[in-house]
A and B are shown apart, each in its own frame.
Chain A
């Protein structure tokens, strides 16, 4: 069974930093791209970014709203993906989900999600 478990969410002041982790199990982690998606309280879903696999040189993509402040990394030996959040703003307050990307032909979509971890940015 695919399992994704996020951790690291906390209350942090504006301008602060935080590192989120997502521990994966139940599948061959190194075979998959991994993404982060967030959801502000009572709002819709917003894609944050992606990290590809080793054969794709672990390249990354980011939403414009977080580019330059957030960094996605992964450790295949620990079957984990990370999201480093720097220079946090109040508008970054959200539940952060990690999601597995499944490839079906030329379709790359999220098929499994973690339960989410809450980041609150407030003074």
Chain B
């Protein structure tokens, strides 16, 4: 199975800050990676697919990069609605696997 490792597991930031979350795959997944945002008690929402393609309707403050085994999600100018948990997920191989999540909290 492909292991997905996210770092950090949590971070604190202020409104207006930019943050970067890293996701590492245990083997080459090319660009078969998606990023999700999840708020408490809600279903996940896809943000980025193909490692860097913005999902329709998602604001351009979210951006993704990377290929192979290292990927990043960058959120610019954090707003209150951006405080949530973010997950990466690979869809190169079965079983599909998720990172452990990164909780972005208000400082």
Q: Which residues in A have some Cβ–Cβ distance to B below 8 Å?
A: 35, 44-47, 50, 61, 63-64, 97, 102, 104-105, 107-111, 113-116
In the complex, chain B residues 42-58 whose Cβ is within 8 Å of any chain A Cβ: 42-46, 49-50, 53, 55
Complexed CA–CA distance, A61 and B95 (Å): 8
In the complex, chain B residues 26-61 whose Cβ is within 8 Å of any chain A Cβ: 32, 34, 36, 38, 42-46, 49-50, 53, 55
Q: Which of A35, A45, A97 contacts B98 (CB 8 A)?
A: A45
Report yes or no: A47 in contact with B98, Cβ–Cβ below 8 A: yes
Complexed CA–CA distance, A47 and B49 (Å): 17
Given contacts A47-B97, A63-B95, A109-B91, contact A115 B50 (CB under 8 A): no
What are the residues of chain B within 8 A of A108 when measuring CB–CB?
A: 91
Report yes or no: B97 in contact with A104, Cβ–Cβ below 8 A: no
In the assembled complex, how far is the CB of residue B70 from the closest CB belonging to chain A, in whole angstroms? 19
What are the residues of chain A within 8 A of B96 when measuring CB–CB?
A: 35, 47, 50
What are the residues of chain A within 8 A of B32 when measuring CB–CB?
A: 107
Q: Mark B84-95, 1 if CB is under 8 A from A, else 0.
A: 000101010011
What DSSP secondary structure best describes chain B's contact surface? loop
Q: Which residues in B have some Cβ–Cβ distance to A below 8 Å?
A: 32, 34, 36, 38, 42-46, 49-50, 53, 55, 87, 89, 91, 94-101
Given contacts A45-B89, A47-B96, A47-B97, contact A109 B43 (CB under 8 A): no
What are the residues of chain B within 8 A of A44 when measuring CB–CB?
A: 87, 98-101
Return 25 A-B CB contacts under 8 Å, by A number.
A44-B99, A44-B101, A45-B44, A45-B87, A45-B89, A45-B98, A45-B101, A46-B98, A47-B89, A47-B96, A47-B97, A47-B98, A50-B96, A97-B44, A105-B50, A107-B49, A107-B50, A107-B91, A109-B34, A109-B49, A109-B91, A110-B34, A110-B36, A110-B89, A113-B43
Report yes or no: A104 in contact with B49, Cβ–Cβ below 8 A: yes
